Chains A and B, each alone.
Chain A
Amino acid sequence: MIFAPAIFFLLVFIPCHAQSQTFGDFKYDETALYAETKQVNQFFRRFNGEEDKQGERLYEKDRDFRTYKLRKKYVPTLFNLESSILNDAGKENFSELVLDKDKPVFLDFHGGAWLCELNTLFIYEGREQELTLFLVLQEEVVGSKWVIDGVYFEPFYDLLKKPDNSNFNDSKFLHPLSHEVGFMNIFRVFNESDSLEYFGNKYFQPDYLSLFFYEIKKGRLEFKTVKDLKFHFFQIDGWYFELTYFNRAGYNSGWLISNLLEIDEKNRDILLNYIYHE
């Protein structure tokens, strides 16, 4: 296990009531359970400095609420410290920004610009197949709810491609006087289903979410189970990070930042498209 300075902070932080517990002949170290970032909600609290040393929720009226001192201890522990993807310079720059004494940056559960990538299993064409759902938190008149924002399912993408309009296609078209023959030539469009998309208008974009709902309603796509999930955060200006659950022993476990990138506006859109497979 990597022993990083962040872990040291966390060990200092562990309250005295979280110690080893004995069940008969079974001894258990509770400090690891304390250290784990057990829910995404707790990730938000720790990131924002809204949880005290005892793990208790802090509110605005509390002295340590969102203080620099508290956040300085928590933030370094919220990275996956066993990752080689996360480099020290990136973590330092990111931490410097969010922990700025004059203009600290906080995460907001209802602030938008974050999404969930949920991997599921569906039964399609007689076999189990992986399907990814993208969910976002939507604000309502009363409260909020998670809604499906997109879907990635390989069979849909294989069959219904986004046409590559960057290259002009000079063989797949209906000639401009087709109307004069009452579009009798339209049969050619349907002869070759592989090139069907070229006969659509230049703005055509397949809507996989509609297709997903349609196939479920038709009874051809059947939900089996959920597998795993992760979150993508674009809420902090100039940065992207990924949040993943690490079910492992030790103090650096639970919901942790598993990927971190400094990105500009243009790369943000590219990355979003990449995540959504667009």
Chain B
Amino acid sequence: MKRFSLILIIMTGMAFSYTTQAQTDISPERKRAIDSLAMEKIRDLGKYISIIGNKQTPFSEAKRVIDRTLELFVEEAQMGVSSLSREEVIYYAIREYLERLMLLNYDKVKIEWFNIQYISDLELQPDGRYVGVITIFQRFEGTSDDGLIYKDVTKKDITVYVERKQTQIGGKLIGFWDVLLGDIRVVETTK
């Protein structure tokens, strides 16, 4: 019995080290594909924010888009916002942030992207998922019906979680990389 347990431990250990090795091994080509997927999700986020913040969007539609937006995120993701005048971070749950945006009710919302972004390396975290941070720069312009314009340029550091998952297609197990967004740090820039 003892002998059997030992063999089991060794086999488990081997399987574990294999998993660990496999997890730390993301080729540059794979990394580029994951980066594209993550950027696609971030672009979707930008698109949804424009819809939610726009006054022309009916309330029910905005609510539906908020739900769609939340699907991009892991649970309990937060938005941490600081400005040039206040370095302390103010935290908002993503839903709360989006609902506040909806209530701001700008007549027109324009979100412009800069061509510059920075995508970090992916680091393995203790739960076996990978984490990365993508930095983007955005210009926000909200025009209210009385013609007042609010605008800012912000740097957004967006957490990205990457996980290897499997799904069954036609009786076959197919592996795929799932990307979800996490906490976002928003910093007003001086540039």
Contacts and interface: CB of A to CB of B under 8 A. Distances in A.
Interface of A: 17-18, 21, 23-24, 26, 28-30, 32-34, 36, 38-39, 41-42, 55, 57, 59, 61, 109, 121, 140-145, 224-228, 247-249, 253
A227 B118 contact: no
Interface in B29-76: 31
Given A26-B141, A144-B123, 10 more contacts: A30-B114, A38-B135, A38-B155, A140-B126, A142-B125, A143-B123, A225-B88, A225-B91, A226-B89, A249-B190
A143 B89 CA distance: 28
B178 interface: no
Contact of A225 (B84, B89, B115, B128): B89
A42 B20 contact: no
Contact of B191 (A17, A33, A39): A33
Interface string B94-132: 000000000000000010101110111101111110000
Contacts of B119: 57
Interface of B: 20, 23, 28, 31, 80, 84, 87-91, 110, 112, 114-116, 118-121, 123-128, 133, 135, 137, 139, 141, 151, 153, 155, 157, 187, 189-191
- Most chain-B Cβ atoms within 10 A of its Cβ — which of A17, A21, A38, A249? A38
B190 A247 contact: yes
A228 B133 contact: no
A247 B157 CA distance: 14
- Most chain-B Cβ atoms within 10 A of its Cβ — which of A29, A59, A225? A225
Contacts of B187: 247
A243 to B, nearest CB: 15
Contacts of B114: 21, 28, 30, 33
A33 B116 contact: yes
Contacts of B90: 225
Nearest to A140: B126
A275 B151 CA distance: 39
Contact of A34 (B116, B120, B139): B116
Interface SS of B by simple majority: strand
A144 B124 contact: yes
Contacts of A18: 115-116
Contacts of A55: 116, 118
B23 A228 contact: no
9 contacts: A33-B114, A39-B133, A42-B118, A142-B125, A143-B124, A143-B128, A145-B126, A225-B90, A227-B88
Contact of A23 (B89, B112, B118, B125): B112
Contacts of A32: 191
B126 A142 contact: yes
A34 B125 CA distance: 29
B87 A57 contact: no
A28 B139 contact: yes
B191 A121 contact: no
A142 B20 contact: yes
Given A38-B118, A142-B23, A145-B125, A249 B157 contact: no
A21 B115 contact: yes
B52 to A, nearest CB: 20
A80 to B, nearest CB: 15
- Most chain-B Cβ atoms within 10 A of its Cβ — which of A26, A109, A249, A253? A26
